[in-house]
Structure 1
Amino acid sequence: MSLLIYGAYGYTGELIAEEAVDRDLDVVVAGRDKRKVRDLAARLNCKGRRFDLDAAADNLDDIEAVLNCAGPFVETYEPLVEACLETGTHYLDITGELSVFEAIAERDREAEKAGVCLLPGVGFDVVPTDCLAGHLHDMHPSADELRLGFDPSGTISKGTLASVIEHLDEGGKVRRDGRLVDVPPAHKRRYIDFGRGERSAATIPWGDVSTAYYTTGIENIEVYTAMPSEAAIALKYGSGIVSPVLGAEPVKGALQTLAKTVVSGPSEKQRREGVCYVWGEATDGERTVTARLKTPETYALTVDAATTAAARILDDAPAGFETPAAAFTPEFVLALDGVEGFF
């Protein structure tokens, strides 16, 4: 059974392709750049396939699952999901983009009828936080508020930065009473012990504002990341001034070009030595439960999580829209190398 990795020559896609080949999966590397696809396929001694997104359906007849690594995912998910539904091919990706999760969740019924699994977010976005959310729900089934957060180390790749730039003008989001609500960036600040002492943290529009709702059914969700207080204040009160500028297409285009030029992603040493702490709490207003995880560096975890998820889907795939914890149980994250928890 073949796994097609689209965007396989990007920073994260190439790491995942290497790992998938090392695990003896039947890999097809793919993307829009003919030379890059050819060179990567030759280096990994696997099959390669060049095609544009609008021709995806013509290239999936012999493919069991697609793993989309081409961001910004808001620009790539739809044609690949459409092609997967048309051809009966399972779909996974490594997005962290909240709007993409919501859009794919709306295709649940179609996917069930087609016998196709739609499983976005199988990287650091959102495997550890989603599994922690599921674990907290198991600890406290009557909780009606969920707060998640993470304290990472390291740098980001050009693909991740491209996704961030694409959504710079959208502000923050939380879930209240089951609905997504727009809020200013960093609209709430607090101190959190993620696992290595209290750190200043602020809310961000992380993918779990979407996915944790589908995993747990909890209707009130916020996500935090470690952030200096000064940065949080600047984000909150400066967003109204800069967001309209950042939303302009010429500005986005210039920032995307700059990202491609100057950003390369963390080194092998950084991936090997970096760590991330993940925290969460669930409450019903009277009783609160807390749990944590310690994970490898975010890209190292993404490579392991995405490859492991793809292998499981190739072996036995549920039909419909899924989150990582719903598809594999919250203990999925504990099967990944170097993960410690829940504690």
Structure 2
Amino acid sequence: MSDRFMIYGATGYTGKLVARTAKTLGMKPLLAGRNEARLKSIAAQHGFEYQAISLDDPEALDAGLSQVDAVLHIAGPFSQTSRPMVDACIRTGTHYLDITGEIDVFEACAARDAEAKDAKVMLMPGVGFDVVPSDCLAAHMKRRLPDATELTLGISGLGQMSHGTAKTGVESIGTGTRVRREGHILALRKPPQREIDFGSGAKSAIAIGWGDVATAWHSTHIPDITVYFEASPQLEQMAKMGSLMRWLLSLGPAQRALKKRIEKMPEGPTDAQRAEGYSVLYGEAINAAGERAVSRLRTPEGYTLTAMTGLEIVRRVLAGDATPGYQTPSSVFGADFITEFDGCVRTDINS
């Protein structure tokens, strides 16, 4: 095995950003994906090697992975692409990292924990903005209040989405709002709403089925978990949408139309928008006695942070810091991992 890694999905918005960041860090990934012409162009810009590989071709995928120690899988929607890549990683003994925020993908990887341990492979989905900062914040809240029974996470400051992120959101329209209650994932017909202070006064927030509904449980075992986004006109419209409309929008014709509309949108935020952007995450833990701990975490813009955290985790894995089986970022690297990145500042509100 070499001490190299693969970026699979290098031709999308996030893939191109991660490849560019890898170049500035002196890393030399093998770029991979389906479109050879686009791969060749991106690889030429950075002096990287590339291979056109389809996830539908297990032999080619195994051959590509056999050249590397780890893959940073960036090609979504991960509901369609994660399983064949995980299968190949287990076959070839390659550590699996991705940037998903999809609850079902996290749970599917967790279900393969024993299989991954047998293959001495680490499965760590969610090494980007989904879910490194929120997972580390969840672990910090558990550390502050070890007997917590309720965990609330809030996220503010998300800007323009990439095509892949937007399409993932479209696919989840029909699932309802997913939360964790008594350790089990449930889908609520109507999303909970509350006010959250992200640092500039109380703001309206709406619950969404974010990846931490899965990962925060594995990291903390707090039984009740809800994740909120600061309310936007689009989220408020979704919150008011009835079950019939959600069902209609989840059908094939509507899904295709919505995704076609996404393709006409800008590919993602510009460099200037990313440089100016930032996010604030809110963490709140409550125990059975009603004791409460609150913390906030400020981070760089989401796609910028994804490149930073994803590549740092790759670097650590290549250096031997990988634990076989299903893992979350905080379970391997600790609650303070996120504070090691420039622009990430955590504050305990009621310490």
Distance (Å, rounded) in 2 between the aligned partners of 1:135 and 1:47: 40
Show the counterpart of 2:250: 247
Deviation at residue 21 of structure 1 after TM alignment:
2.3
Matching residue's letter, 2:258: L
Show the counterpart of 1:140: 145
Render the CA deviation track for 1:188-223: whole Å, top value 9, x for unaligned.
Answer: 111110122211001100000000000001111000
Q: Is the 8 A contact 1:88 1:115 kept in 2?
A: yes
SS at match of 2:136: helix
Q: Is the 8 A contact 1:60 1:89 kept in 2?
A: yes
Deviation at residue 232 of structure 1 after TM alignment:
5.5
Gaps of 5+ in 2: none
TM-score, normalised via structure 2 length:
0.94
Gaps of 5+ in 1: none
Deviation at residue 298 of structure 1 after TM alignment:
1.1
Show the counterpart of 2:156: 151
Distance (Å, rounded) in 1 between the aligned partners of 2:97 and 2:112: 14
Select the residue among 186, 193, 196 that pairs with 1:192.
196
Q: Is the 8 A contact 2:206 2:236 kept in 1?
A: no
Are residue 280 (structure 1) and residue 320 (structure 2) matched? no
Deviation at residue 233 of structure 1 after TM alignment:
5.4
Show the counterpart of 1:162: 167
Distance (Å, rounded) in 1 between the aligned partners of 2:6 and 2:264: 27
List, as ranges, runs of 4+ consecutive aligned residues in structure 1 with deviation greater than 3 Å. Answer: 230-234
Q: Is the 8 A contact 2:31 2:50 kept in 1?
A: yes
Render the CA deviation track for 1:149-201: whole Å, top value 9, x for unaligned.
Answer: 1111421111111111122211111101111011025x211111012221100
Are residue 44 (structure 1) and residue 46 (structure 2) matched? yes
Q: Is the 8 A contact 1:119 1:324 kept in 2?
A: yes
Show the counterpart of 2:10: 8
Matching residue's letter, 1:148: L
Q: Is the 8 A contact 1:8 1:14 kept in 2?
A: yes
Distance (Å, rounded) in 2 between the aligned partners of 1:306 and 1:195: 27
Matching residue's letter, 2:197: D
Identical counterparts, % of pairs: 40
Matching residue's letter, 1:293: L
Deviation at residue 231 of structure 1 after TM alignment:
5.7
Matching residue's letter, 2:208: I
Distance (Å, rounded) in 1 between the aligned partners of 2:172 and 2:241: 16
Show the counterpart of 2:265: 262
Distance (Å, rounded) in 2 between the aligned partners of 1:31 and 1:16: 14
Distance (Å, rounded) in 1 between the aligned partners of 2:142 and 2:16: 35
Distance (Å, rounded) in 1 between the aligned partners of 2:242 and 2:105: 22
Matching residue's letter, 2:332: A
Q: Which range is displaced more, 191-200 or 80-89? A: 191-200
| CA-atom RMSD in angstroms | 1.3
Q: Is the 8 A contact 2:286 2:293 kept in 1?
A: yes
Distance (Å, rounded) in 2 between the aligned partners of 1:164 and 1:245: 15
- Taking the TM superposition and a 5 Å limit, the aligned residue runs for 1:1-343 are 1-55=3-57, 56-185=61-190, 187-228=191-232, 234-285=237-288, 286-315=290-319, 316-343=321-348
Q: Which range is displaced more, 203-212 or 23-32? A: 23-32
SS at match of 1:202: strand
Matching residue's letter, 1:72: P
Q: Is the 8 A contact 1:145 1:219 kept in 2?
A: yes
SS at match of 1:57: helix
